[in-house]
Structures are given as structure tokens and as C-alpha cells.
């Protein structure tokens, strides 16, 4: 069977490629997707043990890599992405808490939830009660001043859309932010939890039902069914424990700068690169990127 091992780094050198080629079967060939950044190594044979051998050959170099079957379905037709610490650089709920001097306390709960130490629903309800009194204007200020797209977010979404994929932002965060982030990054669809306001201020409640890990998985499945897609045609990306179910179910499940609980379970992990790495994993060339 034909396989492709993708290497991604900034910079990715000829030496990196040479070292990894030496671990592959005779006849393996390099195809640069972006000079000095990403390269596909194609070979015939089994994929078992290929990634580990490549990592050993690279001796700790900061190179992301992933091996998969070299076939047309490598380009996925559905992207389902987490928002906080995936499409954006931080955690919205932590930044909301910063407005009232509660960031450290809320961030500690967020960390435990994303590491899988406590249930997502429990953590969300607990943190929401710590935000009582915040006004809609405060949330808008958080978005304007503290929320930033991660590098490569627009390119990832625009390029996949340009090649016919449906793109969805599915978050355990809040619609106040997903609506704005989805528009900024260009997603087709967004869904998240809804905060409860009374007279324009948060009252500490979250509108039920809560969108958590199983709801993310359900969104992946529903969108796949809507588009008549098989699991192999889907891509899911996230960073924490609440992304585990959807990342494991997707044809290409990616742990992006993730907590160990997700990084250890995902098919692929990006530890060093930006979000354009997800395009290289699908075989896109830098010359094909949209923004």
C-alpha cells in the first residue's frame, strides 16, 4: 500500500528530510509542499512503526509528522474545530474572569477540565457562577481586546472551503464569542453554549442543555450525515479532554498544542506548527492556500 509521511517545521531542512528518508523503504521519494516548511515522503509498505522511527531519527528536533494512506480521501470534506486554545489563542472564559479579578481561580478550573480531571459540565457551571454581574459590554471588550485568532486559522478555513469542505466551529464556550470568531475566521457554521443574561448582565446560569464532549461528537456526526460524508472524509481538531470524543471519531483527528489526555489519544498531533499544518496533513501545497 502507498503511504505518505508528512513532515512540518519552521524551518524544515534538507537534513531533516534526509534523516527520515533513511528510515523508510527503498524508493521513498520527497515532494515539497512548501519550501523549508513542509514535505511529503511517499513510500510503499506498512505504516506501523514509521512515525516512531522518524522521531528517533530526528533526535528531538521540533518537527511535526504524521503517516497515513496516500489516497484522495486524504483531503477532508468536513472540518469541525474547537475554539478556545485551538482557533483562538486563549480561553474566553478565563479572559472574562480577568475583568472581575477572578482569572487565576477560573483558569485553574479550566485547566483541570481540559486535562480531564473534572467533568466539563461541572466545570462550566462552576465557572459561570463566578461571572455573575458581567455586562454584555464587558464581553464585547474582552472580544475586542483579548481574543485573537491563532496563526493559520483563516488560511485553514478559507482553503478547505475553497475546495468544497464544510467548516464548523463547535465549542464548549459561548455563542457570544463563537459568533464573532466564526465570522472573523470564515466558518460556515458555529454552535456553543449560551450564557443567561438578566437586564443585560450575567446571572451565573448557562442555558441548558450544555454543549460538552458528547454534544461535540453529535455535531460531527450530524454534520457528516447532512453532507452525506463517511467518517474518513472528516477532520476534527481540538486541544483538551472535551474534544476527545470527536477527535477520535473523525477520519483525521488532530490534537493541536494539546493537553496530554488528548495528545496521547489522537491520530495526529501538532506540537510546534500553526494551523496551516492541518492543510499540509491533507496534502495541500502552500501555493494553494487561501486567506
pLDDT of 238 > 90? The answer is yes
Average pLDDT over residues 32-57: 97
Peptide bond into 131 cis (omega under 30): no
Structure confidence at residue 73 (pLDDT): 84
Residues 277 and 270: their CA atoms lie apart, in Å, by: 7
Catalytic choice (82, 94, 239, 243): 82
The phi and psi torsions of 108 (rounded to 5 degrees) equal: -65, -40
pLDDT-derived band of residue 139, with 50, 70 and 90 as boundaries? very high
144 is catalytic: no
82 is catalytic: yes
In DSSP terms, which residues pair with 28 in a beta bridge? none
Catalytic choice (40, 64, 84, 239): 84
Residues in CB range of 233: below 8 A, 6 or more apart: 73, 76, 77, 78, 224, 251
**CATH T-level topology, domain 1-70:** Alpha-Beta Plaits (3.30.70)
Average pLDDT over residues 26-50: 97
Say whether pTM exceeds 0.85.
yes
Cell numbers for 61, please give them.
528536533
Quick check: helix, strand or coil at residue 75? coil
Residues 30 and 118: their CA atoms lie apart, in Å, by: 44
Structure confidence at residue 202 (pLDDT): 96
Structure confidence at residue 72 (pLDDT): 85
* Domain ranges for the chain: 1-70, 75-291
Whether the CB-CB separation of 216 and 243 falls below 8 Å is answered with yes
Pick the CATH number of 75-291 from 3.40.50.1000, 1.10.3720.10, 3.90.420.10, 2.10.25.10: 3.40.50.1000
Give me Rg for the CA atoms of the chain: 20
Amino acid at each position: 500500500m502507498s503511504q505518505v509521511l508528512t513532515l512540518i517545521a519552521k524551518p524544515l531542512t534538507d537534513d531533516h528530510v534526509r534523516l527520515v528518508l533513511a528510515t523508510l523503504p527503498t524508493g521513498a521519494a520527497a515532494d515539497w509542499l512548501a519550501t523549508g516548511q513542509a514535505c511529503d515522503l511517499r513510500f510503499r509498505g506498512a505504516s506501523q512503526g514509521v512515525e516512531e522511527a522518524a522521531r528517533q531519527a530526528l533526535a528531538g528536533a521540533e518537527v511535526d509528522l504524521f503517516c497515513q494512506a496516500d489516497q484522495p480521501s486524504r483531503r477532508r470534506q468536513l472540518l469541525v474545530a474547537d475554539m478556545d486554545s485551538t482557533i483562538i489563542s486563549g480561553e474566553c472564559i478565563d479572559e472574562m474572569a480577568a475583568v472581575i479579578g477572578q482569572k487565576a481561580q477560573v483558569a485553574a478550573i479550566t485547566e483541570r477540565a481540559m486535562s480531564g480531571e473534572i467533568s466539563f459540565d461541572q466545570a462550566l457551571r462552576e465557572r459561570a457562577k463566578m461571572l455573575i454581574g458581567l455586562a454584555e459590554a464587558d464581553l464585547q471588550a474582552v472580544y475586542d481586546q483579548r481574543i485573537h485568532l491563532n496563526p493559520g486559522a483563516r488560511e485553514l478555513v478559507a482553503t478547505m472551503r475553497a475546495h468544497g469542505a464544510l467548516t464548523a466551529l463547535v465549542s464548549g464556550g459561548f455563542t457570544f464569542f463563537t459568533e464573532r470568531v466564526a465570522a472573523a475566521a470564515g466558518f460556515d457554521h458555529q454552535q456553543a453554549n449560551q450564557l443567561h443574561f438578566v437586564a443585560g448582565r450575567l446571572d451565573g446560569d448557562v442555558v441548558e442543555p450544555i454543549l460538552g464532549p458528547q454534544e461535540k461528537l453529535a455535531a460531527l456526526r450530524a454534520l457528516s450525515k447532512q453532507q452525506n460524508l463517511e467518517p474518513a472524509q472528516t477532520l476534527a481538531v481540538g486541544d483538551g479532554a472535551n474534544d476527545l470524543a470527536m477527535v477520535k471519531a473523525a477520519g483525521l483527528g488532530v490534537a493541536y498544542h494539546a493537553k496530554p489526555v488528548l495528545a496521547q489519544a489522537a491520530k495526529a498531533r501538532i506540537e510546534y506548527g500553526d494551523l496551516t499544518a492541518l492543510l499540509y496533513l491533507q496534502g495541500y501545497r502552500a501555493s494553494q492556500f487561501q486567506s
